[in-house]
Every structure is written in structure tokens, then in C-alpha cells.
A and B are shown apart, each in its own frame.
Chain A
Amino acid sequence: MKVYADNAATTKISKTALDAMMPCYTEIYGNPSSLHQVGQEAFHAVRDAREMMAKCLNCDTDELYFTSGGSESDNWAIKGAAHLMAKKGKKHIISSKFEHHAVLHTLNALEKEGFEITLLDVYENGLVKVEDVKNAIREDTALVTVMYANNEIGTVQPIREIGAVCREKGVLFHTDAVQAVGHIPVDVKADNIDMMSLSGHKFHGPKGIGALYCKKGIRLPNLIEGGAQERNRRAGTENVPAIVGMAAALKEACDNMEENTKKLVAMREQLINGILKIDASRINGDRDHRLPGNVSACFEGVEGESLLLYLDLAGISASSGSACTSGSLDPSHVLLAIGLPHEVAHGSLRLSICEENTPEQMDYIIEQLPPIINRLRDMSPLWERIQNERK
């Protein structure tokens, strides 16, 4: 059996999105900036896509800017807001310890420029406390940036409440909603969001395309300079097929969200229950405030990369936050941020499912996991030690 359970890394493009994109390669191939008819057709395609997306997010079309993806949107929003507010003498930024590297590395760069960064605790359950945000805000706070949902452990943050605190204190609020948009209801107005990043390939749209929502009135300086595209705010000839595909994918995801969520939550709980039957296993992150399709687990005495590769041989695609898959010597900063010891964090497994997965596939994963874990534990000196300590 083949099971793709790495949808938080990226998703398969949906048929709806692909069908919407194809004519943009074959017929509507003009440059939206061109005044002739071929160009105007492309211009209309981008305009319609923007309208469709604005409806899904509850914003105006002129608050939405197309970018190359989540990373660019994060960079633009955070650097832009920082530089905008620095002119008013505000050089303090608040974020959380377990943001995506697109946010954390951007903050590192700003720190080198002289900004002061406060990273809030996310506690054992992987949730930022609204009180902490309130207490961290100072006179010179330029920006609060907290992710909507975490990409590794799937916890969903109290964004609306954090947004309300920021509004009350008059501080700009950005959220990296790359893992949330298309998966849980996101409404920029009701959620009190000033800026929001999203990425097409996380909800069955194409890769290399995303958007930044920026509330009217915020004069964010440009990140990409050049032509007059995106109302002079983001240069570069529009990736028309990708924009059209992303919009079609988002509409489809939002139209089917209720139904998908029901299905996903049932499969997620099926997986979690199966995993918890395995000796010395744990589920990471709050059990209630989490994405419908995310399961993050740790297995003691097992190393994540080996687990991931043996699962792959069984036809199951998943991911891990072990040091050896992170490309560094430390396990994922997310798992360390929720207080896991290094040796437990090394044994992590992330299964992220989508509506195309089936309950039968979940059964298959639950059936495949124990023999693989046993095999690895049988040859693990760490597991031997854990067993001896238990006696």
C-alpha cells in the first residue's frame, strides 16, 4: 500500500487547480501588463483569482499581494514592518520560540541590524499564552508575529485573542498562516490580523506561489523592487498559472472545509489512538487545539530518520524532526521548545494527512509502525538502557 502522509511538507496539486492552470499555459499566456488582448486576458485571470482569494480570507482585493511563497511573504511582512516602525523609534519585535525558519532567520537578520527580539515560550502543549503577549508588549514594540498553526506539531494558536491585544495596544500584528489557510477557518477581519502569509502548495495548489495579506493603510516598504506589478508593491511578472491554480485550490479547500475536517479529525484520532498503544510513545502538542490533519509523535529509543526510512520502504511517506533529518546536530527547535529532551526529540515522527487519505491507510500505518519500531529498538543501545532503568 502507498500512503502519502507528509502533507505539511507539501501537497499534491488538486485536479481543480491543475485544470484551472492549464489554459494559462496554452492560451492565456500573455503578460498581464500588456495592453493587447492576449495580455488583458491574463490580467483578467489574475484579477479574478485575487477576487476569489479575497472572498475566502474576508479581505479586500487590494489588500492581497501575490508573492513567490510563504518564505517571501514572511520576509516581506517582518522586515517591512520592522523598517517602517524603526522610523518611529520602535525597534522591538515579539515572536515565539517555535516559528518556522522563514520567520526565525528573518528575526536573526533584524537582530544583527540592531532590533531587539523577544521569543515567547510555547510551553509543553505548544501554545502561546495571550497573557505573555500582553506582558511582553512595550512602548517601543514594533511588531508581534506569531504563527497561526505550527508546521511540526500542528498546534493552533489563539490568533484572534493575540490580534485583539495588539489592536488594543496599537502594535502591528503579523501571522504566518501557511499551515492554517485552507485547513481551518481563517478570517483576517474577525481574527484581528494586520498582515498574514500564506503559501499555495500547502493546500493542494502549486509550489512557488503565495500571498501576503496587508491591511489597508499599512505602508509596508517593498522587498522586491522593479516593475509596477502588484500595485507598485511587489515587482516581477506575475506567475499567472500559479496564481490561478492557488486561487482555485483555496476556493476548493474552503468550500469543502467542513466536510474535510470531519473526515480528517476522525482519521487523526484513529492514528493517535493506534500510536498511543505502542510502548513508550507520546503525542506532541495540545490534543484539542491542533490542525485536523496533524499527528506528531515520539518513540523512545528510536531514531527518527531510521524510522522514517523504514516507513518509506513500507510505502509510507512521513517526516521527522530528528537531528539527522534537520541537517544540523540538534533535533528540531520546535520539539526542544515544547521541552522535550534531545533524546526524545530525536525519535519524532510527523504524519500529516489530507482528505485523500483513507481510514484503511490509517490502519495500514498503525499496522506497520510496531514491527518497525520493535526492529529498531531491538538494535538500539539506548532502548536497552531505557529498559534497564525501568527495571
Chain B
Amino acid sequence: MEYSEKVMEHFTHPHNVGKIDDADGVGEVGNAKCGDIMKMYLKIDNGIITDVKFNTYGCASAIATSSIATDMIKGQPVSEALKLTNKAVVEALDGLPAVKIHCSVLAEQAIKAAVRDYYDKNGIEYDEAEFHFNEEHHH
């Protein structure tokens, strides 16, 4: 098994690590039993993600995925962030070893969970289908 240079770059120097105390949306996915938990904090202004931070407990693949996914949605409209797929994240990392794909699914899910939290808090209506994923178990 080998990680791409891009993965190692994001793992060793992850972007957007931290918390946002007055976040507009917070999402946490994964569980300790599986060995990965990802928590995403969003600051949203006029429908635009103005700031994003993450906390991740997990392997190099989980940390690198969190880092690059936060880069990809920062400054984007919420509607665009919701379109971010796991596939796009993995491609941006120049691929992941096959056994590691399951660890990367969390980023997409964490973003969605954070956006939904934002919608819920602000009474914004949404289509449940857009947030369809198994929060309990990401594998």
C-alpha cells in the first residue's frame, strides 16, 4: 500500500484544522468503533461558506480527505458544497489505495451533516433525499 504525494502533503500539513466557536453549522459523522470520526464546522454568510474548519480522528486517508474537502468548499455557495462527491475528493488527492476509500467517504458526509445542521438551525427547508447517507456506519 502506498499513499500519493498529495495525500501525504495534506496529511502532514492539513489545511483548515480547528474549530469555529460561533459556527453556523456543525456536523459530526463516523464513530470510534470504526476508527474514524470527522467533525466539520461551517461559517455561512448569505449562502456562501466563508470559513470552514475540521477535527478528525482517523488515519492518514481520513485526515487528508478532510483537509482537501474543506479547501474545495471554502468560498463556495452552500448549494455547490452539497454537490461535492467522495469521488471528486479522491480524485483531487490523486487517488487513494482501494482499502482506504471507505475512510474518505466521511468528508462528503460531514459537509452534508454540517449544512443540514445549518438548515435546521435557520428553519430553511430542504429535500431529505439530498442528505441521504447512513450516519451510523460509513462502511
Contacts and interface: CB of A to CB of B under 8 A. Distances in A.
Interface of A: 301-303, 305-306, 309-310, 313, 322-325, 327, 329, 331, 342-343, 346, 376, 378-384
B22 to A, nearest CB: 17
Nearest to A380: B57
Contact of A306 (B34, B58, B100): B58
Nearest to B97: A327
Given A313-B12, A323-B34, A327-B99, A306 B39 contact: no
B56 A305 contact: no
B33 A379 contact: no
B56 A380 contact: yes
A40 B67 CA distance: 63
A100 B112 CA distance: 41
Contacts of B33: 342-343
Given A303-B62, A379-B56, 12 more contacts: A305-B60, A306-B58, A306-B63, A310-B12, A324-B100, A324-B103, A325-B59, A379-B55, A379-B57, A381-B37, A381-B57, A383-B57
A322 B35 contact: yes
Q: Top 4 A-B pairs ranked by shortest CB distance?
A: A343-B32, A324-B59, A305-B59, A380-B57
Interface residues of B, number: 30
A305 B12 CA distance: 13
Interface in B52-70: 54-63
A135 B34 CA distance: 36
B36 A303 contact: yes
A302 B57 CA distance: 7
Contacts of B57: 301-303, 376, 379-383
B68 to A, nearest CB: 15
Interface string B1-19: 1000000000110100110
Contacts of B114: none
A376 B58 CA distance: 9
A302 B56 CA distance: 10
Contacts of A384: 55
B55 A381 contact: yes
A382 B36 CA distance: 9
Nearest to A346: B35
Contacts of B18: 379
A310 B12 CA distance: 8
B115 interface: no
B139 A329 contact: yes
A35 to B, nearest CB: 47
A21 B81 CA distance: 61
A301 B56 CA distance: 10
A376 to B, nearest CB: 8
25 contacts: A301-B57, A303-B57, A303-B58, A306-B11, A306-B59, A306-B60, A322-B59, A323-B34, A324-B36, A324-B58, A324-B60, A324-B100, A327-B99, A331-B35, A342-B33, A342-B34, A343-B32, A378-B17, A379-B14, A379-B54, A380-B37, A382-B32, A382-B37, A382-B57, A383-B57
Contacts of B102: 329
Nearest to A320: B59
A56 B63 CA distance: 48
Contacts of B59: 303, 305-306, 322, 324-325
Identify the interface centre among A322, A343, A381: most chain B CB within 10 Å of its CB: A381
Nearest to A376: B57
B35 A309 contact: no
A309 B1 CA distance: 13
A343 B30 CA distance: 12
Nearest to A331: B35
Contacts of A313: 12
Nearest to A324: B59
B111 to A, nearest CB: 15
B38 interface: yes
B34 A381 contact: no
A323 B35 contact: yes
Identify the interface centre among A324, A376, A383, A384: most chain B CB within 10 Å of its CB: A324
B28 interface: yes
Nearest to A382: B57
B12 A342 contact: no
Identify the interface centre among A322, A343, A346, A379: most chain B CB within 10 Å of its CB: A379
Contacts of B28: 381
Contacts of A378: 17
Given A379-B55, A381-B37, A342 B32 contact: yes
Nearest to A305: B59
B67 to A, nearest CB: 10
